[in-house]
Amino acid sequence: MPFDWMKIPYSLLTLFIVVNYGFFLNALIQKMGARAGRRYGIPIWQNYVDMIKNYGLRSSITHGAMFYLGPVFRLSGGVGLLLFVPTIYGSYMFSNLSFAGDLILALYFIFFGTLGMALGAGESGHPHAAIGVSRGLAQVSTAELPFALAVFAVALQYQTLSVTEIVAAQQGGFLQWTLFTNPLAVAAAMLGFLGSMMRPPFDVVIAPQEIPIGPPTEYHSAYLALMQTNRAIFPIAKIVIYMNLFFGGASDWPTFFFKVFLIYLWSAFVGVVFPRFRVEQSIRWFLIWAVPLGILSIILV
């Protein structure tokens, strides 16, 4: 099969748009969260400033090869995830590199970055990093479950694993969206979504407001910058999958921006309302509230 080299600049364009939107959205959501807490919040460009500062920092040390590779894994995971899924439905330009694999590829590629960064964090030798990873893995193993179940319910529903075909099946009015044709699956997936967005009540993994804990503990300068870039891309890439599977996808950029924002907002909305769970609490919570919905959705398809 001849490879269309134009895919590369197109994909880079998608990447560029998404990175910028991601930086913007991260700050926006954070600011909204702060306002809900009666605080002023960060300036909207703060993330850019941080990133540029971090890339520019000269202090550069390493704890070893895996430490070095961790952020690379992390960002590759985010970028890959984005590029393996078509961003804009019906657009050849923004179908990215989705020819390489289907939904399953995207699902499993989510773990690529997680695993790599966990390894890098591990080599730093910092116990907090290891604790963070341990918590994160423990939580994500159950948080991803309702999502995986929902994804499979959708695949069963449309009898395909191709993201494009799933989106195609949802065209023709919002009542065709999975949200309305299979609400149980969407409910399960949206509960699972909360667990992977690192916001309360499921943010004990990085515990951002307290002592430095979590996988990035030892990361700084360019390493951290790579990870920050990923923090802009990864949520959007993940939301794109949600959007495509459950909310009819997006056939143009404005729809895209709008839907992504709303989906993102959902996690922030829950986040500002609820306090934090301990890990075993969140495991139980997902198993009790979200997983049964997923199971139901699979059985009832």
- Using CB under 8 A as the binding rule, whether residue 168 contacts other proteins is answered as no
Taking alpha carbons only, the member of 292, 287, 267, 283 closest to residue 134 is 283
Whether the CB-CB separation of 232 and 158 falls below 8 Å is answered with no
- Using CB under 8 A as the binding rule, whether residue 71 contacts other proteins is answered as yes
Name the segment binding other proteins (CB under 8 A); options: 25-33, 34-42, 104-112, 178-186: 104-112
Choice between 46 and 160, CB closer to other proteins: 160
Whether the CB-CB separation of 228 and 57 falls below 8 Å is answered with no
What whole-number distance in Å separates Cα of residue 56 and Cα of residue 48?
Answer: 12
Residue of 51, 88, 103, 227 interacting with other proteins (CB under 8 A): 103
Minimal distance, residue 166 CB to other proteins, in Å: 10
Residue of 69, 206, 265, 272 interacting with other proteins (CB under 8 A): 69
Site for other proteins in 175-204 (CB under 8 A): none
Site for other proteins in 252-291 (CB under 8 A): 278-280, 283-284, 287, 291
What whole-number distance in Å separates Cα of residue 154 and Cα of residue 85?
Answer: 16
Site for other proteins in 1-40 (CB under 8 A): 1
Q: Any residues with CB less than 8 A from the CB of 135 and at least 6 apart, and which?
A: 204, 205, 279
- Using CB under 8 A as the binding rule, whether residue 212 contacts other proteins is answered as yes
- Using CB under 8 A as the binding rule, whether residue 169 contacts other proteins is answered as no
What whole-number distance in Å separates Cα of residue 130 and Cα of residue 281?
Answer: 20
Residue of 27, 140, 270, 293 interacting with other proteins (CB under 8 A): 140
Taking alpha carbons only, the member of 166, 171, 169 closest to residue 151 is 166
